[in-house]
Amino acid sequence: MRPQRFLAYVVELGGQDPAVGQIRAEGGDGDRDGDGDGPPCGVSVTGAGGEWRFGITGQLPDGAKHEGFADEPVHGPPVEPQDPGGNANGPEAWLAGLLARAGCPEVCGLERWSVREGTRADHSGVTVRFHNGARVFVRLLK
C-alpha cells in the first residue's frame, strides 16, 4: 500500500473512531516548516488527547522500482491486536490499535517505535508492513 492510499485509509478509519473529533489529510507539500525534510503526506488528528500530527513515508517491496510498480492489494491473514505496552494512551498506541482493530487483510505487521529496545525517548511512530512486502513509516511529528 502506497502512502497516499494508506493516508486515505487512516483518515477513513479515524473518522469512524468515536474518540476522534476531527481527522484530516495533510500533505503534498512535503515540508511545513521550510527546512526541506518534511514527509510527503500526513494526517492531523484532534480528540480528547489534543492534536497529533503524523508524517507518512513509504518503502516499496525489496527489488521493486517506482516506475511500473502497481499498488495492487495482496491479502493475507490480518495482524492480531497486541498488548500496547509502554504508553498505552499516547498517539502512537492509538494509531497502532486503530490499525490492528481494523483487521485489514493487506497489513501483516505493526511495530511501535517507542517500545523497541534502545529507542530514543523522542522517537514515536509505527512501521506498517504489508503482505506485498511494502512498508509505511508513520512518524509522530512534534
| pLDDT tens across the length of the chain (142 residues) | 999 999 999 999 999 999 899 999 997 554 555 455 567 799 999 987 889 999 999 999 998 898 888 888 999 999 987 766 655 678 999 999 999 999 999 999 999 998 888 877 778 999 999 999 999 999 999 6
* φ, ψ of residue 23 in degrees (nearest 5): -140, 135
How many domains in the chain? 1
Place of cell 480528547: 48
Helix pair 91-102, 3-15: axis angle to 10 deg: 90
SS3 94: helix
Angstrom distance (rounded) from CA 106 to CA 134? 10
- In this prediction the pTM is 0.87
* φ, ψ of residue 8 in degrees (nearest 5): -60, -40
